[in-house]
Chain A
């Protein structure tokens, strides 16, 4: 990838990657060159492994927000066949910060719903950087109820900095939209699988993440507020965000330890952004495995189990 972006703690890999790309595009063709490429590749891999094996929480936050990190639409393309996007909340509009629709997971029809941050500038604006307004949550709710009607399992991808903090959202009752989704998902009569794929920010993330199986990608984050917001509220200094991230336990490893999530889905070496296909494959096999387990439960058992799981947290 020529437009590969490197995070500050990746400096050693950056240099190697630049050397590698120079050698690969070199016009000389000699066995010595190939040997050099192979050895640099090996070194690159080892170094990446070394750096990524001991990321601190703040570094993980940066990977979760990496500009090249795959988004919901990247996963939809790779995981689901024959995807039909469905639009609109039937009340106000269509919020592009949430994508939803019906697709096939290995021939099984499912409802897919996820935040979409957008890639280039135009798309980011269109998608409001993945920050949702009430109509987005209401679209998600409509699609969930549709899934219930047609007995489709629901699969959600969570990747948002948070609900959009705007005037219009408040006018249209952002709080009610989020609350209603929580209530609806708690008793939706179909399995719900949640994948926190990037940033799980606050109530805006929770609004599509109540379910029967909650997984997180290895370097995804999930928290009650962004580390920056937490730092400015509690520490009263926004630059304490790294400390806040650590204290809030935002990483998949920490959240698995306190039983907030069920599963960590392994990322490719150096993060999901280095291999979209492999990342999608790992997510897909997790979804297939866990859906087959949930599908064995009767509807009553599924809903009892979901309610108990929700009520257990913090009891």
Chain B
């Protein structure tokens, strides 16, 4: 199973009730088709039967998106200083250690320089498996360093955001990262450099209400869930059962929150063609 886990970071999101055979087979969360993993790899983890976009890790995302799957990482070694010395049933530092061990990443955001169809860009990708892709001080700082690099090199900035929101264990320092990332995005705008925000399932709370919704152009993958407050909390507050499509990409598009919904396999070509129209290197 270990190699499979590495291959499909999202394996934990498959329905546990379905009979997932060990090894080369997984089942689709939506249509429950049993799928052959090497085939799924080729389809970029989009179910060939129903088009369901499965969750993939940040590294995979960058590999798929960038020319030759190659990139240079920005501030790769930043780690949290645990500014509040936070402890619940466990120490925050041990939760971070577990996340590092589970993902092989040092934090919930990877920021890199790379090329998209020959155009230099800076890309930030959230790793949802790292404490729910939550934004603490390191995520905020890496994001800003990425923006600064884009400004310095006069290149576009693209962010793939998937996150549960602000990181509770850094409380106010986390909350302030919303202001920090938003302020940095304004600097990028001043330089007239494009910022394209791609909403990946799921994206909520403090990251939705800063990084994700401030794109010059906001794009979502199909069936991505996004909003400020999660469905469960809203249901508890208003005591109404919410429609099935609530907060899904299609709902976001019809409510005016995003510009377009783009299939994972077309993200490279679509973003490249947009950049060709709004950006001159």
Write out, one digit per residue, whether chain B residues 234-268 have a CB within 8 A of any chain A CB (1) or not (0): 10011010100011000000011100000000000
Bound-complex Cα distance A235 to B213 (A)? 29
Asked whether A169 and B228 contact (CB < 8 A) given A186-B183, A247-B88, the answer is: yes
> Is the beta-carbon distance between B178 and A206 smaller than 8 angstroms?
yes
Kindly list chain B residues whose C-beta atoms are within 8 Å of the C-beta of A234. 88, 168-169
Chain B CB within 8 A of A27 CB: no
Kindly list chain A residues whose C-beta atoms are within 8 Å of the C-beta of B185. 183
> Is the beta-carbon distance between B182 and A182 smaller than 8 angstroms?
yes
Please, which residue of chain A has its CB at the minimum distance from the CB of B173? A314
> Is the beta-carbon distance between A166 and B178 smaller than 8 angstroms?
no
Write out, one digit per residue, whether chain B residues 193-212 have a CB within 8 A of any chain A CB (1) or not (0): 00000000000011011111
Asked whether A173 and B257 contact (CB < 8 A) given A182-B178, A249-B84, the answer is: yes
> Is the beta-carbon distance between B183 and A258 smaller than 8 angstroms?
no
Asked whether A180 and B214 contact (CB < 8 A) given A249-B84, A255-B172, the answer is: yes
List, sorted by A's number, 29 A–B pairs whose CB atoms are closer than 8 Å.
Answer: A165-B229, A165-B234, A166-B237, A167-B234, A167-B238, A167-B242, A169-B228, A170-B227, A174-B209, A174-B227, A175-B226, A175-B227, A176-B213, A179-B209, A179-B210, A182-B182, A186-B183, A203-B206, A203-B228, A207-B209, A210-B183, A223-B172, A234-B88, A247-B87, A248-B86, A249-B84, A311-B144, A313-B176, A314-B138
Asked whether A187 and B183 contact (CB < 8 A) given A176-B213, A203-B205, the answer is: yes
Closest Cβ–Cβ distance, residue B77 to chain A (whole Å): 15
9 pairs of A and B residues whose beta carbons are closest in the complex: A314-B137, A186-B183, A182-B182, A165-B229, A174-B228, A178-B209, A248-B171, A175-B208, A175-B209
Write out, one digit per residue, whether chain A residues 187-209 have a CB within 8 A of any chain B CB (1) or not (0): 10000000000000011001100
Kindly list chain A residues whose C-beta atoms are within 8 Å of the C-beta of B233. 165
Write out, one digit per residue, whether chain A residues 146-182 have a CB within 8 A of any chain B CB (1) or not (0): 0000000000000000010111011111111011101
Asked whether A223 and B171 contact (CB < 8 A) given A243-B88, A247-B88, the answer is: yes
Cβ-Cβ contact count across A and B, 8 Å cutoff: 176
Number of interface residues of B (CB under 8 A): 57
Chain B CB within 8 A of A35 CB: no
Kindly list chain A residues whose C-beta atoms are within 8 Å of the C-beta of B226. 175
Kindly list chain B residues whose C-beta atoms are within 8 Å of the C-beta of A186. 179, 182-183, 186
> Is the beta-carbon distance between A175 and B213 smaller than 8 angstroms?
yes
Closest Cβ–Cβ distance, residue A215 to chain B (whole Å): 14
Chain A CB within 8 A of B136 CB: yes
Please, which residue of chain A has its CB at the minimum distance from the CB of B83? A258
Bound-complex Cα distance A217 to B130 (A)? 36
> Is the beta-carbon distance between A166 and B256 smaller than 8 angstroms?
no
Which of B's residues lie within 8 Å of A, judged by CB? 83-84, 86-89, 136-138, 140-141, 144, 166-180, 182-187, 205-206, 208-214, 226-229, 233-234, 237-238, 240, 242, 246-247, 255-257
Please, which residue of chain B has its CB at the minimum distance from the CB of A168? B238
> Is the beta-carbon distance between A203 and B83 smaller than 8 angstroms?
no
17 extra A-B contacts, CB within 8 A, seeds A173-B257, A311-B183: A163-B228, A163-B229, A165-B234, A169-B229, A170-B247, A175-B212, A186-B179, A203-B178, A206-B178, A230-B171, A234-B168, A235-B88, A243-B88, A247-B87, A258-B84, A310-B179, A315-B144
> Is the beta-carbon distance between A224 and B228 smaller than 8 angstroms?
no
Bound-complex Cα distance A255 to B168 (A)? 15
Please, which residue of chain B has its CB at the minimum distance from the CB of A170? B227
Which of A's residues lie within 8 Å of B, judged by CB? 163, 165-167, 169-176, 178-180, 182-183, 185-187, 202-203, 206-207, 210, 222-225, 230, 233-235, 240, 243-244, 247-250, 255, 258, 260, 307, 310-311, 313-315
Kindly list chain B residues whose C-beta atoms are within 8 Å of the C-beta of A176. 209, 213, 257
Kindly list chain B residues whose C-beta atoms are within 8 Å of the C-beta of A222. 172
Kindly list chain B residues whose C-beta atoms are within 8 Å of the C-beta of A255. 172
Closest Cβ–Cβ distance, residue B214 to chain A (whole Å): 5
Kindly list chain B residues whose C-beta atoms are within 8 Å of the C-beta of A179. 178, 182, 208-214
> Is the beta-carbon distance between A224 and B172 smaller than 8 angstroms?
yes
Closest Cβ–Cβ distance, residue A251 to chain B (whole Å): 11
Bound-complex Cα distance A174 to B167 (A)? 19
Closest Cβ–Cβ distance, residue A38 to chain B (whole Å): 44
Kindly list chain B residues whose C-beta atoms are within 8 Å of the C-beta of A235. 88-89
- Contact residue among A163, A167, A210, A310 (Cβ-Cβ distance under 8 Å from B240): A167
> Is the beta-carbon distance between B228 and A250 smaller than 8 angstroms?
no
Most chain B CB neighbours (cut-off 10 Å) among A202, A233, A307: A202
Closest Cβ–Cβ distance, residue B52 to chain A (whole Å): 23
- Contact residue among A166, A206, A249 (Cβ-Cβ distance under 8 Å from B171): A249
Kindly list chain A residues whose C-beta atoms are within 8 Å of the C-beta of B89. 235
- Contact residue among A171, A187, A310, A311 (Cβ-Cβ distance under 8 Å from B255): A171
> Is the beta-carbon distance between B186 and A183 smaller than 8 angstroms?
yes
Kindly list chain B residues whose C-beta atoms are within 8 Å of the C-beta of A165. 228-229, 233-234, 237
Bound-complex Cα distance A315 to B182 (A)? 15
